[in-house]
Structure 1
Amino acid sequence: MVSGAEVTLLVFAKAPIPGKVKTRLMPALDAEQARDVHVALLERTLEVACQAFPAARVQLWAGLAPRHPLLEALAARHGIALHAQPSGDLGQRMHTALSAQRGPALLIGSDCPVLTPALLARCVRALNAHDLVMLPAEDGGYALIGGHRLPARLFTDMAWGGSEVAAQTHARARELGLRVACPGTVWDLDTPRDLERWRMLDAAT
């Protein structure tokens, strides 16, 4: 049986540089405000990650400026490893990071405000009977992907940022004969409308 103590959780995130993160929230927000949203989401994501997994099994993979002081501070606060994202497009970077792990691994971004420890636990349990686990997002992407030694083909020639990535990945997995689990559907915070949705969710809890 696969447990959370055997699975590594990778968190992909950009360094909080104004004008480089959450740009789809602009011009409704200015660059600094968009950066603040990014930071809040990342802080929440790491809190959820470390509730669901031992700190030794959580890794923060940073893009743009991997040694950014805030990222180093967050990694130190949670006692987790901080890595620089490898080179290549998003698919290459994700596959390289996942392939660097010795055992099963899951990868998430920092944009999903509805990710919970319970949902992550369901994803871990799904690894017992499946090769690939995904959490499709309402916009057609996905907020989580992972499994057991996933082939590079799952991450190549994909329309990253488009509305068909999850469907394309699922179809590719079937072509490769992989058993796929999708324990839930979630949503990412990308637009001003999503931000309002998050605020309403917070107000209700």
Structure 2
Amino acid sequence: MSPRHPATGPATLLVIAKEPVPGRVKTRLTPPYSPQEAATLAEAALTDTLYTVLKTPARRRVLVLDGVPGPWLPPGFDTVSQGAGGLDERIAAAFGHCDRGPALLVGMDTPQLTTELFAGVGRDGPDAWFGAASDGGFWALGFADPARAAALVRGVPMSTERTGAVQRRRLVEAGLSVIDLPVLRDVDTAADAVAVAACCPPGSRFAATLNSLAEEGR
């Protein structure tokens, strides 16, 4: 079994994201959406995610960004650049920006996030938190001791149907106790966008943006 690293209160919350630039984000939404529309949806999803994180008790909030911040970034976040390499390397590097204490990383593809989904993260007990995505990936990954992340994330095949299973198995085989967060659906395709928008809480920018685009297309 792994040595215990008791959580000491609210976690550091990390959001790993790309700057919402047309042609660089949400390319699987095109078609039916144009690159500009896909980027607008990506910006709305990222903004919803950031404001949910902002409302969640946290030791520190960090945006791990590929690109440069825009007016969509609210105050209250430290911004750091993503590392080089594949997504596994960049996730591992993101945890390297954490101080001691628990840390949880989420992406920008789940605008249906609510503060309730983070309830309990950072409390004493588990060594890791894991949020599976319905497409076989994962939407959240956390460690009571973020120094363990690098060895457990590097080498995991990303963007496959088995990414989540491989990542969770790595945690268990390392002797970590794991708390599973609810399974969420990522926004990758147009069908995903419609399904996720229907799950978003009231006031969601993502849902409003999707509805606006649908009305313009009529």
- Provide the TM-score with structure 2 as the length reference: 0.82
The number of aligned residues is: 194
Q: Equivalent residues in 2 for 1:32-181 (5 A)?
A: 32-54=36-58, 57-63=60-66, 65=67, 67-68=68-69, 70=70, 73-75=71-73, 77-103=74-100, 104-125=102-123, 128-147=124-143, 148=145, 149-181=147-179
Alpha-carbon separation, structure 2, partners of 1:100 and 1:204: 33
AA aligned to 1:97 is A
In the alignment, which residue of structure 2 is the partner of 1:190? 188
- What SS does the corresponding residue of 2:15 show, helix, strand or coil? strand
Contact 1:9 1:53 survives alignment (8 Å): no
AA aligned to 2:8 is V
Alpha-carbon separation, structure 2, partners of 1:150 and 1:133: 13
Alpha-carbon separation, structure 1, partners of 2:105 and 2:85: 17
In the alignment, which residue of structure 2 is the partner of 1:13? 17
- What SS does the corresponding residue of 2:131 show, helix, strand or coil? strand
Alpha-carbon separation, structure 2, partners of 1:197 and 1:18: 23
Alpha-carbon separation, structure 2, partners of 1:53 and 1:101: 16
**Percent pairwise identity:** 30
Question: How far apart are residue 53 of structure 1 and its match?
Answer: 2.7
Alpha-carbon separation, structure 2, partners of 1:59 and 1:139: 26
- What SS does the corresponding residue of 1:153 show, helix, strand or coil? helix
Which range moved further: 180-189 or 134-143?
180-189
Alpha-carbon RMSD? 1.9
Contact 1:122 1:183 survives alignment (8 Å): no
Which range moved further: 131-140 or 116-125?
116-125
Listed as ranges, the gaps of 5+ residues in structure 1 are: none
